[in-house]
């Protein structure tokens, strides 16, 4: 019985490797931007699986760039200080004190944890913020009300990306490093801005002309009104879902970034269930699907 089980496992592994080969050929030398968030960032087993996936992608010749969130960690830090997080249309309102917390949580605690996990898994990760190499230049976000565009919400030091200079990311990739980017930008007066990580990942994918944008979430993917997974969507289909209210709240910035990326040359955007171990690797290198793919057309 043991021999049969071992043989079956070996055959399964061989089939998976054989299935991965054409995808490795197809994506060799290509860039993939990964938005890392949700349960995959907080559960130890999923953290390890994510780090292993990133390292394996690099080893087979794909260039991963990680952009991370950190909402739960920021919320925990704010509660320690007696502050309550406040959101408008999915964006965190960021006053001066909150911005200080955002910077030390994202660029300190969270980023260094991710860098350490990837390095422990055998990779060579380097942490960046928008200040490093002038990576992300930003200005204050003007947030108009979705229902009444004549109303503007003040969300504090939340940034809108003016420009991305990818030179430092490309230099790291050329030296076989894996960039890990915190979504913090800088303004004309050297002020810091908190930027939605989904937006940063999407813009970076566009600027780097990435083959794919992979967005790890806490849900199976984009769901219809009945709660059923939509495995594939086009930009036109997403517009309809936003209009009828199927897509709302915190999903809006994620979907908006995905749409911008798919309309600007990124071949495919994958919204993936990060609660499934190795879902990212299975999505990229096998025929299995673990979320919603948004195609250019």
Residue 196, annotated ligand binder?
no
What local confidence, expressed as pLDDT, does residue 155 receive? 86
**What is residue 179's three-state secondary structure?**
strand
Nearest to 204 by CA among 90, 53, 35, 54: 35
**Does the reported pTM lie above 0.85?**
yes
Nearest to 207 by CA among 265, 149, 257, 256: 265
- Would you state the structure tokens that stand for residue 97, as one six-digit string? 């004190």
**pLDDT of 4 above 60:** no
**Where on the phi/psi map is residue 141: left (φ > 0), alpha (ψ -120 to 50), or beta?**
beta
Residue 71, annotated ligand binder?
yes
DSSP structural state of residue 223: B
> Is the distance from CB of 136 to CB of 195 less than 8 angstroms?
yes
Residue 257, annotated ligand binder?
no
**pLDDT of 219 above 90:** no
**pLDDT of 2 above 50:** no
Domain 32-295, CATH: 3.40.1160.10
What local confidence, expressed as pLDDT, does residue 251 receive? 72
Pairing of strands 91-92, 87-88: antiparallel
For 69-105, write each residue's pLDDT tens digit: 998 899 899 999 888 878 887 778 889 999 999 999 9
Residue 80, annotated ligand binder?
no
For 156-200, write each residue's pLDDT tens digit: 899 999 999 999 999 999 889 999 999 999 999 999 999 989 899
């Amino acid at each position: 019985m043991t021999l049969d089980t071992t043989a079956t496992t070996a055959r399964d592994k061989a089939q998976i490797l054989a299935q991965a080969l054409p995808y490795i050929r197809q994506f060799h030398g290509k860039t993939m931007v990964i938005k890392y968030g949700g349960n995959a960032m907080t559960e130890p087993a999923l953290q390890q699986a994510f780090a292993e996936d990133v390292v394996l992608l690099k080893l087979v010749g794909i260039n991963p760039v990680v952009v991370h969130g950190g909402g739960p960690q920021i919320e925990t830090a704010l509660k320690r200080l007696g502050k309550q997080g406040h959101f408008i249309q999915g964006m965190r309102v960021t006053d001066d004190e909150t911005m200080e917390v955002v910077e030390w949580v994202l660029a300190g605690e969270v980023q260094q944890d991710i860098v350490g996990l990837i390095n422990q898994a055998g990779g060579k990760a380097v942490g960046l913020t928008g200040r490093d190499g002038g990576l992300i230049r930003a200005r204050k976000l003007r947030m108009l009300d979705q229902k009444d565009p004549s109303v503007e919400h003040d969300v504090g030091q939340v940034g809108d990306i003016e420009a991305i200079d990818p030179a430092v990311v490309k230099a790291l990739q050329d030296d076989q490093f894996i960039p890990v980017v915190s979504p913090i930008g800088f303004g004309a007066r050297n002020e810091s801005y908190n930027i939605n990580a989904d937006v940063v990942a999407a813009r970076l994918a566009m600027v780097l002309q990435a083959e794919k944008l992979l967005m790890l979430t806490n849900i199976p993917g984009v769901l219809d009104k009945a709660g059923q997974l939509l495995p594939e969507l086009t930009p036109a289909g997403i517009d309809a879902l936003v209009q009828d209210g199927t897509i709302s709240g915190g999903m809006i910035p994620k979907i908006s970034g995905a749409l911008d990326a798919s309309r600007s040359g990124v071949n495919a955007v994958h919204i993936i269930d990060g609660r499934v171990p190795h879902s990212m690797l299975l999505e990229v290198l096998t025929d299995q699907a673990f979320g919603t793919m948004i195609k250019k057309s």
